Structure formats: structure tokens, C-alpha cells
Amino acid sequence: MSASYESYRIFYHVATCESFTMAARILHNSQPNITRIINQLEQELGCQLFIRSNKGISLTHEGELLFAHVQEAVQHIVCAETELKNMAHLQNGQITIAASETALRSVLLPALKSYRQDYPGIRINVHSITSEEAISYLLHNLADLAIVTNPLHDNAALSIEPLLTCPDILVVPAAFALKYDSARSYTPEEVVTWPFVSMHRKSVSYEMIYGFFAKHDLLFQPTTFVSAMSQITPMVCSGLGAAFLPEFMARESLANGELIKIHLTEAPPSHPVCMITRANQPASFANRELMVRLRDASQQKPVP
């Protein structure tokens, strides 16, 4: 294309106004310069675009053909400019977030609450999945942002920012009260033989607990596996075994007496929650603002 976009934009305004002078005013340009550019465009296209007379100007057949295409292009560009300006002011846009359950409940939900209040025009898509799946979504461009417990492996394609740490506690069902003394502290050697409810073997949670016992040359062998962290509390309450849980997830059941906290001789594992983005890829305006909210939310106490 030899003619510039600016030439076609001027042609569009001249054709719309049916006046070189009016188009010049709208474009904050001079009438002689507008006329010169239209003449140059006609030379480049090899046809006459306007019929000039004492009564004004009108499009030739060739001009009408060109105008039909230019009008559509200009309108698309104007719409795109408007949309980008609205996105810059967070009036519209879309974000897709992949989050593990612990990350969702500890930091993402509080951040989204204030975000939705301030930017109702932003469409929010949330995939509540495992940490491994969330990272896969991010790597395959299925999500803009991942909020997960600490990833199992580093990846040069990802940028990882720690947000907060959710400490775990060891809990047992209230029915175990007579069997285990909640007033004393138990060693890892003592509790490893208990029946346990745990996330599946490929989860970050399982690997953290497995590593906690492995430090003492002990083998962690859960008796019940689940696919979601939210399934652990009701299963423990039902008497299926003990479990390590983020403290905020067990708070309500501890308060109503369904669960009992067991003290250990050393600190139990914790869930570090991270915010992950694709490295060397700029975030959208909507994503950048949500990342700010996530950092703010990480300073607050998680709610059950």
C-alpha cells in the first residue's frame, strides 16, 4: 500500500463533510494542505475520487467504492482506540486467573472483592484447579495469572512472586479426643503412624507433608486421598483420620468443636502462596491492577 493511513483518514473526513474546508477544521489542518493530500492520493490510486464544482464536492464512482472500504476501516480503528482507552482506565477488559484452592481462599477472594467493587466493567474468569494445572494453564496461554501454593519446580518461562505463607496445623476429629491428648506435644515419629487424609500424591500439599516426615527418615502413608483441599475437613470430621490443613481452613470446625488441634514438637509444614506470570510478557492494565490488589490482600489475615 503506497498511500498512508493518514491520507485515507483525510479522504474519509473530506467525503463525510463533503467539504475540504470543513474537513480541515475538524482535522485542525489547513485547507490547502488537505487539498494537496487528496490530489496526491488520486495520483497514487490513478483515479479521480471527487467531482469538484461551484456547488461543492461529491464522490465519483471510484470514490464511493473507496469510501465504503475506508469508512469500515476507520470505524474499526476508532472503536479499537476507544476500547484501548477504556481498558487503560479499567472500564472494560477481561482477565483469566488459574488458582489453587488454598490460594483462592487465602488471598484471591479478598482481592477480587475490592477489585469487582472498583472495576465492575472487567470480566473475570477464575479456574479453581491444582497448582500444577494452574501453571500448565499459564504456560499454554489459557490464563493471564496463576495464584498457587509454591510450585514444585522452577521454570525460566515464569516469573514467581511470593505473596504470603499459610501455616498448617495438625487436626484430628473430636471423636479422637479420648485417644489423643491435645494438651501435650507429639513427635513426628508418633503421628506418622496415625491414619491420615491427604491430597493426592502429585499435589504440592502431599509433597510438603511427605518432605516434613522424610526429614526424620519417616514414610508418610495416608490412608485416604482426596482431589480437593475442601474435601479434607469433612472427611476428618467424619472420623477418617488426621490431616494437615492451613489454619484458616480449619478455624470454623475448631471453633464449633468438630476438630481438635494437635500440637507437635516442631513446626508443621506451611503453604507458601505465590503469584505467577509469564516472564518477559507485559501484563494488561486489568492484570496489573489485580496484582496490586493481591499484594495488598496478602497483608491481611485469610478468612475461612
- What percentage of the chain's residues is helix, strand, coil (to nearest 5)? 45, 25, 30
Residue 236 has pLDDT above 80, yes or no: yes
Q: Which residue has the cell 494445572?
A: 133
Residue 52 has pLDDT above 60, yes or no: yes
Distance from the Cα of residue 47 to its chain's centroid: 52
**Taking residues 59-68, what's their average pLDDT?**
92
* pLDDT tens digits along 276-291: 998 877 777 888 889 9
Phi, psi for 231 (deg, rounded to 5): -80, -15
Report pLDDT for 72.
Answer: 87
The SS3 call for residue 6 is helix
**Residues paired with 276 in a beta bridge:** 146, 160
Residue 91 has pLDDT above 90, yes or no: no
Q: Which residue has the cell 490513478?
A: 46
Report pLDDT for 127.
Answer: 92
Grid coordinates standing for 281?
Answer: 510478557
Report pLDDT for 196.
Answer: 97
Report pLDDT for 56.
Answer: 81
Report how many helices (DSSP H) and strands (DSSP E) the chain contains, helices first. Answer: 12, 12
Give the predicted TM-score (pTM) of the model: 0.63
Residue 155 has pLDDT above 80, yes or no: no
Among candidate residues 212, 211, 247, the one with its CA nearest the CA of residue 229: 247
pLDDT confidence of 38, banded at 50, 70, 90?
very high
The CA-CA-CA angle for residues 5, 7, 12, to 5°, reads 95
**Taking residues 145-172, what's their average pLDDT?**
85
* pLDDT tens digits along 251-279: 999 999 999 999 999 999 888 899 999 88
Who wins on pLDDT, 50 or 130?
A: 50
What domains lie within the chain, and their CATH numbers? Answer: 5-88 (1.10.10.10), 93-163+272-297 (3.40.190.10), 166-271 (3.40.190.10)
* pLDDT tens digits along 107-148: 999 899 888 888 888 889 999 988 888 888 988 889 989 999
Residue 217 has pLDDT above 80, yes or no: yes
Report pLDDT for 2.
Answer: 65
Report pLDDT for 190.
Answer: 94
Report pLDDT for 126.
Answer: 93
**Taking residues 230-256, what's their average pLDDT?**
92
The SS3 call for residue 233 is helix
In this structure, are strands 158-173 and 243-246 parallel, antiparallel, or unpaired?
A: antiparallel
